[in-house]
Amino acid sequence: MLGQSIPSLTSRTWQEQLSYQMTQPEEFLDFVQLDEHWLPAAKRAAELFPLRVSHAYASRIEKGNPQDPLLLQVLPLQRELQSSPGFTTDPLDERNFNPVPGLIHKYHGRILLIAAPHCAINCRYCFRRHFDYSHNTPSRQEWQVALDYIAQRKEVDEVILSGGDPLVLGDKQLAWLLDALAKLPQIERVRIHTRLPIVLPDRITPKILEIFSRQQTDIVFVIHCNHRQEIDTRVTRALADLRSAGVTLLNQTVLLKSINDNANILISLSKELFRCGVLPYYLHLLDRVSGTSHFNVSEHHARQLRDELLAQLPGYLVPKLVKEEPGASSKSPIA
């Protein structure tokens, strides 16, 4: 009976998938077939930063495998409750670059807008796990203040929609924002930082593709994919559709201990991304956010991995290894 009243995963719209996301540790552990000894810690850690995962993503997790590289990105663990020296709540010092609500202006020529208050997934290592979204999710009226700020800065030719995930916005809101940006004559590119093509590929609907293909400005997506296992046939199709709509596709990866800190895994990811029409852009060292130190990979090991990628891949499939340092004028390359 239950099966009749709830539409099956494949027939749900993206909005339904977003509202049926798993947020309860019990339900998630049951879905991935892990036993209840994981539950107390998962509940405690989820109180600090909620569990959130789409069925589309969870279905790519191998059942019953506590080491699965996708599982480890979303399962709340006891280790998140430990504090570690050097890991703080705002390591990027974003508060000092937040001149108006919803806007971060740190680098020359580009401005980042916090376009949405949440993502379709909560990655446990997220650098925004402590971000104050409540004061940074503008209403349409408040957007005008951000748009005026951008309009006054003639050197800014690119706006980055980030979040949260800008694609959790509905089509109307997104189209309104893109149209408002297109009216600013100096804006040449709009970049969208999104994990939705990976975690909720059904978000890439014919309607949103039409919105992108009619834009005057160039549209660049920076997707976020950390492991080849995150890419299934539905993801591949969403990426192909975006390419057909004229969207430039780049990827950023966070280097994560026990998940992708291995040359073969990174090589296989770069090759698979290229097959999907996506070029590797950044390989980020973890931001030192409290509750995430167990994901940290040392700079020394990161360099070794990068050197191995350079030795084995064409140059264009090697992402730039970077870290973010407060006060720097760009992401800092690791030499």
What are the residues binding ligand SF4 (CB under 6 A)? 119, 121-123, 126, 128, 163, 165, 195, 224
Closest to 128 in 3D by CA, of 207, 224, 21:
224
- Candidates 34, 58, 74, 112; binder of ligand PLP (CB under 6 A) is 112
The nearer residue to ligand SF4, 187 or 229, going by C-beta atoms, is 229
Residues 6+ apart with CB under 8 A from 311: none
The C-alpha atoms of residue 66 and residue 270 are separated, in whole angstroms, by: 25
Interacting partner of 272 out of ligand SF4, ligand PLP, none (Cβ under 5 to 8 A depending on kind): none
Residues 6+ apart with CB under 8 A from 113: 102, 103, 104, 146, 159, 160, 161, 162, 166, 177
Site for ligand PLP in 114-133 (CB under 6 A): none
Backbone φ and ψ for 174, nearest 5 degrees, come out as -65, -45
- Candidates 20, 87, 107, 149; binder of ligand PLP (CB under 6 A) is 107
Q: Sketch the per residue contact string, 178 through 217, with ligand PLP: x for CB under 6 A, - otherwise.
A: ----------------------------------------
- Segment near ligand PLP (CB under 6 A); pick from 103-111, 177-185, 202-210, 295-303: 103-111
Asked if 320 is part of the footprint of ligand PLP (rule: CB under 6 A), the reply reads no
Interacting partner of 202 out of ligand PLP, ligand SF4, none (Cβ under 5 to 8 A depending on kind): none
Q: Checking DSSP bridges between strand 218-224 and strand 248-254, what pairing results, if any?
A: parallel
CB of 283 to ligand PLP, least distance (A): 13
The nearer residue to ligand PLP, 112 or 302, going by C-beta atoms, is 112
Buried b (16+ CB within 10 A) or exposed e, 70-109: bbbbbbbbeebeeeeeebeebbbebeebbebbbbbbbbee
Closest to 141 in 3D by CA, of 184, 193, 180:
180
Asked if 106 is part of the footprint of ligand PLP (rule: CB under 6 A), the reply reads yes
Tokens (6 digits) for 44: 């405690």
The nearer residue to ligand PLP, 44 or 110, going by C-beta atoms, is 110
The nearer residue to ligand SF4, 165 or 261, going by C-beta atoms, is 165
CB of 73 to ligand SF4, least distance (A): 8
The nearer residue to ligand PLP, 31 or 107, going by C-beta atoms, is 107
Length of the chain: 335
CB atoms closer than 10 angstroms to residue 174: 20
CB of 77 to ligand SF4, least distance (A): 16
- Contacts with ligand PLP, residue ranges (CB under 6 A): 104, 106-107, 110, 112, 160, 330-331
